[in-house]
Structure 1
C-alpha cells in the first residue's frame, strides 16, 4: 500500500470516528486467524501514551492495521527509532505519522519548567530541546509548542536513521505530522511540507 493511500484511509477512518460512524474493521475471528502468521499494517503511528489518544480508535482501524508506538510526548529515543526502522524495513510500512494531541500534559509541564527528580524528567528535557526557544507570551502557547515538538521529531528522524532516510529518498516511505483535537475528534495534518518534500531534505 502506498503512503498516499494509507494516509487517505487513516483520514477517512478518522472522519467516520468524528461522525460516530465507526465500522470497527478487522476484529472478527476470521481476521484474527488470518494475521497469526503475518502483519501488514498500513502506517506507523508514533504518539503519546495519553489514554485519550488510542490510534486504532480515532482512525477506526482494526487488528494488524497500525504499527503503534506510544511514549509520553511522542518523542524519539534510540528504541523508538529502532522500532520505526523495523516497521518500515521488515514489515514494509509505507507511512510514518508523528501524532501530537491537544492539551498534552508532557509538553505543558515542560513549559512550566517543573522538575520532579524522577525518570520522567528525561521526557521533559527531550521535549524542552525539541521546542527550543519559544515566546511564552504567545496566545495558545501550549498548542504551538505541541506542534513544534511534532515538527522537531520529524526533523530528527531525517538525521537519526540511515534506513529511514534511504527509504524516503527512494519514495518508499513518507513521513507526516498530525494533531488530534480532543473536543472535535479531528486529526489534522500539520506538516504538509514535510510530507511532500521530506526526501529532499539533507
Structure 2
C-alpha cells in the first residue's frame, strides 16, 4: 500500500544535438528502466542547455501531467542541497516525472533521505543516483565552524563534519562532503546490493553557482557522456529518455 501511495507523487562548449524520446508512465507503474550512462548523458545535455541560457525545456505540459499522473518512472535520482539557487529540475531542464529529487541542506545522506533514495531505486527502478553539492554551500560553511546553531542545525552539521575532517577551504570541503555522502549511501544494504548487482550507479557531482556548470567528480566520463556535456538538449528533444 505504501509503495502504491508513494508511486503517485514525487518525494520531496559546442552546440550539438541529442535526441531523446519521451518516457511514458504506465498506470500499473514503471515498466522500463533507463541505464545509468543514458541518464547521465541526459542530465548533462540538459545542463549544457541551462549553461547556454536556453529557455526551460522540461515538459510541464497538460499532456505530460496527465501522462504521469497515474504513476512515476523517473530516469534518475538526485540528492542535493535545499539551497534556493540549486533547483535540479532547472539545472538539468527536467520536466514532470523525469527525476526523483531529494533535497536537504548540505545534501546529507541521513536515514530519511537515504530511505527516500532506497524507495526510488528499489520500487521505481532508477539506476542512477547523483549526490550533488554546490559552490559556497552554507551548510558546509557552517560545518567548518565550531559554533552552535541550535539542536536541530547542530544535528545536521554533525552529519557533515566527519566527512570534511580538518579541511579549511570551503570549496574543497564541499567536494569532500559530496564524496562522504556518497559513501554514506553505500552503507545502505539496499543500495549496496543494487550497486553490487550492477543495477545502480552512484555518482558525486558539483554545481558551480557562477557558471551554471554541473561537473561529475568521479572517474573520467565515457566519450558519449563527454559529448553530451558539450551538447545542449534543445526544446524539441523532449523529456527523459526511455526504452
> What TM-score do you get using the length of structure 1 for normalisation?
0.89
Output the CA distance in 2 between the equivalents of 1:85 and 1:165.
10
Residue 43 of structure 1: aligned partner: 76
Q: In the TM superposition, what whole-angstrom CA distance separates every residue of 1:98-131 from its partner, at most 9, and x where no partner exists? A: 0000000011111122212231111111111121
User: Aligned-residue CA RMSD in angstroms?
Assistant: 1.4
Output the CA distance in 1 between the equivalents of 2:154 and 2:57.
37
Output the CA distance in 2 between the equivalents of 1:152 and 1:33.
39
> What TM-score do you get using the length of structure 2 for normalisation?
0.75
SS at match of 1:192: coil
Residue 105 of structure 1: aligned partner: 138
Residue 178 of structure 1: aligned partner: 205
> Higher RCO, 1 or 2 (CA under 8 Å, sep at least 6)?
2
Deviation at 1:155, TM superposition (A): 1.1
Q: In the TM superposition, what whole-angstrom CA distance separates every residue of 1:131-174 from its partner, at most 9, and x where no partner exists? A: 1232x3xxxx1010000000011111112x11111111111110
Q: In the TM superposition, what whole-angstrom CA distance separates every residue of 1:20-78 from its partner, at most 9, and x where no partner exists? A: 12442221101100001111111110000100000000001101111000011000111
Count, aligned residues: 188
Q: Which sits farther off after the overlay, 110-119 or 55-64?
A: 110-119
User: Would you say 1:188 and 2:215 are equivalent positions?
Assistant: yes
SS at match of 1:25: coil
Structure 2 unaligned spans of 5+: 1-33, 221-243
Output the CA distance in 2 between the equivalents of 1:117 and 1:186.
34
Structure 1 unaligned spans of 5+: 194-202
